[in-house]
Amino acid sequence: MSDFHFIAIGGVGQSALAKILLCLGYSVSGSDIQESKYTKLTQNLGAKIYIGHNEDNIQGTPKVVVSSAIKEDNPEMIKARKLGLEIMHRSDCLKFISEQFSDFIGLAGTHGKTTTSGLLSFVLEQIKANPSYAIGGIIPKLNINANASKDSRFFVAELDESDGTIQKYSPKYLTINNLEADHLDYYKNGLEDIISTFEKLIDKMSSVSKIFINIDDEGCNKFLAQTKFKNFITYAINSSADYQAKNIVFDELNSSFDVYKKDEFLGKINLIIPGLHNVYNALTIVSILDELGFNFDEFAPYFAEFSGMGRRFQLVANTNDIKIIDDYAHHPNEIKSTLNAIKNLKRRKIGIFQPHRYTRLKGLWSEFLESFDVLDELYIVETFSAGDKFDEEYNSKNFANEITKKGIKAQYIEGTIPEAGEKIAPKLKQGDIVLTLGAGDITKIGEVINGLLAN
């Protein structure tokens, strides 16, 4: 009989939590509609895996872990309710796990959570600090998204604000990289509601906790003006802060910068991931590691070995000197940051954008229209609904028409992702750099296009 049963254990987030519990010595079972690399991973670690959802999959009296995607009519949910079992949202499970470690480090903010949590976990691994972690993406060089040890001092996790569950946690260390209006299906009043949620999170933190915050960010400054919490460590590029990046140099897809603590020069950081946003991401992690007492000269070299996270400016193909880079960017400012990383490249710049949710496209319509100026050409594929109902006004076709009026060379591409890939591939030329942008199944189009280019 298992201590925990995961419904839909094959998801990247669910499997990460299951892996950690297994590593900590708990027994785990789980189900999913089909076998995947994540179900195999947890099975190899000792989980009992069921393919298909069935009430018989629940044996004994485990805690049942679910995500927001699991509906009440799921047969395993019905069985759990009938038996009166404890049903844990995945955020409650993450909270339970975080409480097993002395130093819980939470990475938060509207953008950059996966990259910052992945970078911190990667560096801690390289300097033999024995971290445990749960990340929302694969760390390429480690090829994992989660790990744990009973002997770990540090537990690193990205804290998702999208549904308000972030306020459940009580990290010892918290980063806030930026705060902007997003997830407008949940936060009806935009940034105001997001700040309110972060205030509730901080109210649960102890007086010895530390919060690392980007004071170049407008939303972070609005939050600072409202909160009563005082124990902040600040970082910035354009403002005087506890930690500051200076002398930033961009070279093709690489970058470097000098780190100052107050007026003291700590050293240089080299990155192989592009863009100003990744300078902020790296500076966040430098400040944490320094405050934790690690030696700069010990950890700094490993920043140059971090190739980013899966789906974060990830090079997926380079055929006929046509580079295809996949990025999860699905918010206007994420898109701007990603595209600014290629702004000065002397290549034709092509974007393939898949809007994510009709509600987000509607709520940030004007901001999206101002996000693609860097590109020479833009293709807009069908919106990934993520459960939203089709919007007659705010959709991909109308977006393509509107952005064309602003002088952007844009085209709506109708059809499935494979069909869109077949239409776009013949339009590409040697030397192009192609960015696929969005949080949905747009990630598959790079393989489709590359397959066509290779033939």
Domain residue extents for the chain: 4-88, 101-305, 314-454
At residue 207, the pLDDT reads 84
Lowest mean pLDDT among 25-39, 69-83, 235-249, 310-324: 310-324
Q: Provide the pLDDT confidence category of residue 307 given band limits of 50, 70 and 90.
A: confident
CA distance readout (Å), 170 to 65, 147, 155, 200: 20, 20, 12, 10
* Region 111-121 average pLDDT: 93
What would the mean pLDDT of 255-263 be, rounded to a whole number? 96
Residue 433 has pLDDT above 90, yes or no: yes
Distance, CA of 200 to CA of 258 (rounded, Å): 35
Closest CA to 291 of 217, 211, 171, 203: 211
Instruction: Please name the residue ranges forming H helices in 35-104.
Output: 37-44, 75-83, 90-98
Q: Which of 400, 13, 22 is nearest to 4 (CA)?
A: 22
Strand partners of residue 172: none
How far is it, in rounded angstroms, from Cα 302 to Cα 291? Answer: 18
Residue pair 241/235 in contact by the 8 Å Cβ criterion: yes
Q: Is the dihedral of CA 269, 274, 279, 280 positive or negative?
A: negative
Instruction: Tell me what the mean pLDDT of segment 296-316 comes to.
Output: 90
CATH 3.40.50.880 fits 4-88, yes or no: no
pLDDT digits (tens, 9 = 90+) for 364-405: 999 999 999 999 999 999 999 998 999 999 999 999 999 999
Task: Kindly tell me if the per-residue pLDDT of 406 is higher than 80.
Answer: yes
Contacts (Cβ under 8 Å, ≥6 apart) of 252: 274, 345
What does the pLDDT read at residue 123? 98
As a whole number of angstroms, the distance between CA 412 and CA 378 comes to 9
Q: How many CB atoms within 10 Å of residue 68?
A: 11
For the cut 70, the answer to whether the pLDDT of residue 431 exceeds it is yes
Q: Is the pLDDT of residue 221 over 70?
A: yes
User: In the predicted model, is pLDDT for residue 321 greater than 80?
Assistant: yes
What does DSSP assign to residue 384?
A: B
216 vs 218: CA distance, rounded Å: 7
Written as six digits, the tokens of 54 are: 């069935």
Q: How does pLDDT run across 209-220, given as a tens digit for each residue?
A: 999 999 999 999
CATH number of 314-454: 3.90.190.20
94 has a pLDDT exceeding 70: yes
pLDDT of residue 330: 93
Q: How many CB atoms within 10 Å of residue 7?
A: 24
Q: Are 143 and 209 in contact (CB under 8 A)?
A: no
Q: What is the mean pLDDT of residues 256-263?
A: 96
Please name every residue paired with 250 in a beta bridge, in sequence order, or none if there are none: 255
Q: What is the structure's pLDDT at 204?
A: 85
Give residue 1's pLDDT: 65
pLDDT of residue 451: 93
Q: Is residue 54's pLDDT more than 80?
A: yes
- Cα angle 336, 349, 330 (rounded to 5 degrees) comes to 35
Inter-axis angle of helices 113-126 and 276-291, nearest 10: 50
Mean pLDDT of the chain, nearest integer: 94
pLDDT range class, residue 140, cuts 50, 70, 90: confident
The whole-number average pLDDT for the span 323-328 is 92
Confidence of residue 83 (pLDDT cuts 50, 70, 90): very high
Round to whole Å and give the CA distance between 169 and 436.
Answer: 34
pLDDT at 423: 97
pLDDT at 222 over 90: yes
pLDDT at 153: 97
Which CATH number fits the domain 101-305, given the four candidates 3.90.1170.50, 3.30.70.270, 3.40.1190.10, 3.90.1300.10? 3.40.1190.10
